Chains A and B, each alone.
Chain A
Amino acid sequence: MMDVGYYETLYLTRPDLTEDELNKVQGRLKEAISNHEGEIFKSQKWADRSLAYRIGKYNKGTYHILVYKSLRSAVSEVEKNLRFFGGDVLRFMTVRIKEEAALRERAASESGAHEGGVQ
């Protein structure tokens, strides 16, 4: 059996990121996941928040969430791409999530229920 898992990546971008720049980042992530036989369940903005501490010159930031199912090797490629956009992406974190949680996210995003995300 291949090493397939369910992952959730939360990444923090600088607050003044334009839509074009964000699309560029997300395009790269999408490509990385599809290169590793992955499937994206959810990719959306999670929250605009003021940060708990200052990062560089930013006191605010935008969090984006990405839920996907893929080979384990996709995670390192996703993180490599996020690191590549180091000026735009301030922080990121990937955690393995339970299968039920991932499928719940997919169902929620398919039904088009776009709630602002849990704070």
Chain B
Amino acid sequence: MERENTKEKKFFVRKKVCRFCAEATEIDYKRVDLLSQFINERKKIVPRRSSGLCAYHQRELSSAIKRARVMALLPFTVLH
């Protein structure tokens, strides 16, 4: 019994809540400071498994980041 309990604890995962659903903020490609929280140090878009966003907001976010890149608000790579 005891063994099983420890096993359960080990696999306990906190339920993720999408930040944009919770705060009801709109994603806009001009909000650079917001978008830059979702790119990693290689300037890649952070995947859903680590951003914790819902599918809809991840989609909106990724297109916003891509728009911002075109407008030179965000870099495409670190090699520029």
Task: Look across to chain A and name the residue whose beta carbon is closest to the beta carbon of B77.
Answer: A53
Determine if A119 and B32 form an interchain contact, defined as CB atoms under 8 angstroms apart: yes
Determine if B31 and A55 form an interchain contact, defined as CB atoms under 8 angstroms apart: no
In the assembly, what is the distance between CA of A59 and CA of B17, in Å?
39
Chain B 1-43 interface residues, beta-carbon cutoff 8 Å to A: 29-33
At the interface with chain B, which of A20-28, A44-52, A70-78, A106-114? A44-52
Instruction: Please classify how large the interface on chain B is, using the bins under 10, 10 to 19, 20 to 34, 35 or more.
Output: 10 to 19
Binary contact track B65-80/A, C-beta < 8 Å → 1, others 0: 0010111111110001
In the assembly, what is the distance between CA of A96 and CA of B64, in Å?
13
Chain A interface secondary structure, helix, strand, loop or mixed?
strand
Chain A 43-96 interface residues, beta-carbon cutoff 8 Å to B: 46, 49, 51-55, 61, 63, 90-91, 93, 95
**How many inter-chain contacts with C-beta < 8 Å in the A-B complex?**
37
Determine if B74 and A52 form an interchain contact, defined as CB atoms under 8 angstroms apart: yes
Shortest distance between the CB of B63 and any CB in chain A (Å): 10
Determine if B75 and A10 form an interchain contact, defined as CB atoms under 8 angstroms apart: no
Return the contact of B30 from the options A46, A52, A91 (Cβ within 8 A): A46
In the assembly, what is the distance between CA of A52 and CA of B69, in Å?
8
Chain A residues, Cβ within 8 Å of B30: 10, 46, 118
In the assembly, what is the distance between CA of A119 and CA of B31, in Å?
6
Interface residues of B (CB under 8 A from A): 29-33, 67, 69-76, 80
Chain A to chain B contacts (Cβ below 8 Å), 16 pairs:
A10-B30, A46-B30, A52-B69, A52-B75, A53-B80, A54-B80, A61-B72, A63-B71, A90-B72, A93-B67, A93-B70, A93-B71, A95-B29, A95-B67, A118-B30, A119-B32
Interface residues of A (CB under 8 A from B): 10, 12, 46, 49, 51-55, 61, 63, 90-91, 93, 95, 118-119
